[in-house]
Amino acid sequence: MLEYSILAGILFGLYFGLVALGLNLIFGVMKIVNLAHGDFLMLGAYGAYIVFTDLHVNPLVTLLAEVVIFVVIGFPLYYLLVPRL
C-alpha cells in the first residue's frame, strides 16, 4: 500500500510539474498569464477519459487524438484572441 501511495505522489508531482512548466513557458514567451491553459488541459484529460471508458480505445491512441484535436482548436483560438491583448 505504501508503494502505491509513493508512486501516486510521484505521478501527481510530475503531472503538476508539467502543468507548471507549460504555464511558465506561456508567461515567459507571451508575457501574459494564459489561464485557459488549465482549461484546455482538463478538457483534454476529460475527453481522453470518455473515449477510453466508453469506446474502449487504447490510451496512447486516445492521447494522440486529443493532442491533434486540441492543436486544431487551440491555434485558431490563439490567433483570433491573443493578438488583441
Domain assignments of the chain as residue spans, ordered by start? 1-32, 35-85
Chain segment 32-70, per-residue pLDDT in tens = 766 677 788 788 888 888 988 999 988 888 888 888 988
State the Cα–Cα distance between residues 49 and 45, nearest whole angstrom: 6
pLDDT score at 27: 78
pLDDT score at 34: 67
C-alpha cell at 72: 486544431
pLDDT score at 75: 86
State the Cα–Cα distance between residues 49 and 59, nearest whole angstrom: 8
pLDDT confidence bin for 85, thresholds 50/70/90: low
